[in-house]
Structure 1
Amino acid sequence: MIPLFIFEAGEKSQLLSLLEQVQLSPYKNYSDFSEEIKELHSQVPQRFVKACQLISDERARHQQKIHVIRNCPMDQVIPELDPDDPVSDKHLKKNKFISEAFLELFAQLTGTPLLSYETRNQGDFFTDVIAIKKYSGQLTGFSDSELVFHNDRTAHKVRADYITLLGMRCPDDDLIYTGYIDGADIVNNLEPKHIAYLREPHFYTVFDVFSRDMNKQLSTSEKHPILSNLHSIRFLDTMTCVAEEAPLEARDAFIAFKSAMTRSQCKRHRILTGDLLTFANQDGLHNREKIDILNPESAAARWLLKTYAFKDSRTAESYEAYWANNRAGCVID
């Protein structure tokens, strides 16, 4: 994809110097960390502020649901992480938080409050898309495998409206792409009779292996529709199924939905180190494709820093009943 915005050298240096002033750890005190970022708004390069506003406007008008920003400020030292437990190792080794500060700033400037999960990565608001050795070859973002088309946290009741990924370590010689299909394209490729059944709760989704490991009580979701709102999707390929008692028409609609996915346009982006890729989680589907891997070890060490975000403050507040220990944004999983 063509980036919407590319930081010029001077802008990047200016913002890097600004974010270096942030001393608080987002992993120890996210609330105060977030407040410290808010105090920097007036000093942020205006061209970047305008780019964030453009992203917000295009999202609101349903014009564009996926955007790329290139040459972003980030940590100067990227530690090597233990593949057996990269999250705990990150907490030990990472003592600079410029990348986290940049992602928080982006969330604030686009008006999309961050979301975290109590049972995932200690409730951190900044999580890692990185291979964990025990999940090698399995269907989870924490594996070294490809990923089928899906929404993040499909089976969960509280799901992000937006996902943002920052390339921390992306091998130069391996072609790994993130694909994105707009939910509007899928709906446009469906017949009205199929749309009607896809909007009814005839389906369920099996929780992914990582979620089940974090919470042993999780197995399958409640019955849910696949389509909602104008073109929101709730679907994890190979893990979303038709309920046994569903009518035959729902099964026909399910087959039609998968065919519509295939006929829909797929936008692809290869995330480079320093790239920010942001997209609508519920209004589309995304995947991970490994096109050409020359060095499996470096590909397995690929590291993206990720945030989940709500559509806006009002949406975040509507989930207040799910807050864990009254910690705004961190939901009981």
Structure 2
Amino acid sequence: MEPIYVLSDAEREQLAAVLHSVGKSPYEDYEDFSRAVGDVVARGEVPAFFADVCARIRDDRRSGAGDAHVLRNCPLDEEIPELDLDDPVADKHAKKKTFVGEAFLELFAQLVETPLLSYATRFNGDFFTDVVAINRYSGMQTGFSDSELVYHNDRTAHPVRADFISLLGMRCPDGDFVYTGFVDGRDLLAHLSEEDQLQLREAQFITPFDVFSRDNNEDLTVSEVHPILENHHSFRYLDTCTTAAPGAPESAKDALLALKNAMVRADKTRHRIRTGDLFTFANQDGLHSRDKMEINDPARARRRWLLKTYAFRDAAAAEQHADRWLDGVRGRVGD
């Protein structure tokens, strides 16, 4: 996938200098950190080129022109620590002393007007999480493993799900080729009959919680009965895991098979995230995957690190879940 904008080195350094000035830790007090980034915006310190590209992405999303975008040569911290993959969260908190990547993602979220979301039982409730290969999940179907991932949307089983995901390449080895796939929900609809769409809109499907969620909250087993298709083209689906609920009619199972066929036939986008790339895409209005196309050094590939945020579509979408905020922190929900 081609970037919609490639920052020049001078632009990257200009934006990095602005982000360095934030001077707050998102892991100590996210709300204080978010306000500090907002102050940068209020003081008019955001370079015009970045404000313009964020406005373009915001407009593309609202008009339906596009739900997946790439920026290249984005600012990163000068020092990117190697993380201990036995406990990367604790190790990041101990080693990472600057927060340029986090400030960049927060600034992007504020400029495209998509408030961030976090889960209290994941990564200590942090709003900036890490897509890394945690050792104990090796080979498992979770984003925190070294495995490929089937087409899905994040937190499929959870009642509160992000509208958008942003991934910032902190360390992406050049010699290994890992791609993030994306299929737009509208392209899936084009391969589904009206009857299949009607069946997929009925609450007659279930999705088990992933192993990472279950390890963080033993009460989580399987979702409530839910539809797969919502809104116009939002899909709540985890391939190979979402199934028809017990007692669902044969028509529900037929529709599920039709969706699987549609996923094969639909047009797809794939992007190889490089160090310094921002890949941002719809989580519900599409499905995404991880494809290991060519791994030349498995040990090196396991050091891949993406900094990740979840976001609501807009302030109104966030406020629909205001009764779930924990400890008064806007955007932080429980499981």
User: Which TM-score applies when normalising by structure 2?
Assistant: 0.99
Q: How does 1:37-116 map to 2 (within 5 A)?
A: 37-41=37-41, 42-116=44-118
Within 2, Cα distance between the matches of 1:136 and 1:239? 19
Contact 2:77/2:100 (<8 A) preserved: yes
Structure 1 gap ranges (5+): none
SS of structure 2 residue aligned to 1:26: coil
Q: What one-letter code is carried by the residue in structure 1 that aligns with 2:115?
A: P
Shift of 1:69: 0.2
1:54 Cα offset (Å): 0.7
Q: How much does 1:136 deviate?
A: 0.1
2:331 counterpart SS class: strand
- Counterpart mapping for 1:1-333 below 5 A: 1-41=1-41, 42-333=44-335
Tell me whether 45-54 or 120-129 shows the greater mean CA deviation.
Answer: 45-54
Once residues 13 and 81 of structure 1 are traced to their aligned partners in structure 2, the CA distance between those partners, rounded to angstroms, is 25
- Residues in 1 aligned to 2:147 and 2:254: alpha-carbon distance in whole angstroms: 30
Residue type of the alignment partner of 1:104: E
Offset at 1:233?
0.3
Helix, strand or coil at the partner of 2:82: coil
Deviation at 1:238, TM superposition (A): 1.2
Post-superposition offset of 1:51: 0.7
Q: CA deviation at 1:326?
A: 1.6
Aligned letter for 1:161?
Answer: D
Unaligned 5+ runs, structure 2:
none
Query: 1:200 is aligned with what amino acid?
Result: E
SS at match of 2:183: strand
CA distance in 1, matches of 2:329, 2:192: 41
Greater Cα shift, 6-15 or 295-304: 6-15
RMSD between aligned residues: 0.6
Paired residue type of 1:101? A
Please say which of residues 179-188 and 43-52 is displaced more in the overlay: 43-52
SS in 2 for 1:40: helix
Deviations, residues 91-137 of structure 1 (Å, cap 9, x unaligned): 00001000000000000000000000000000000000000000000
TM-score (norm: length of structure 1) = 0.99
- Separation (CA, whole Å) in 2 of partners of 1:247 and 1:134: 38
Q: CA deviation at 1:281?
A: 0.3
- Cα-to-partner distance string for 1:226-265 (whole Å, 9 max, x where unaligned): 0011000000011101112001111110100110111001
Q: CA shift at 1:295, angstroms?
A: 0.6
The total of aligned residue pairs comes to: 333
State the 1:8 CA deviation: 1.3
Structure 1 runs of 4+ aligned residues shifted over 4 Å read none
Q: Distance in 2 between matches of 1:57 and 1:24?
A: 30
User: Identity percentage over the alignment?
Assistant: 56
* Cα displacement (A) at 1:23: 1.4
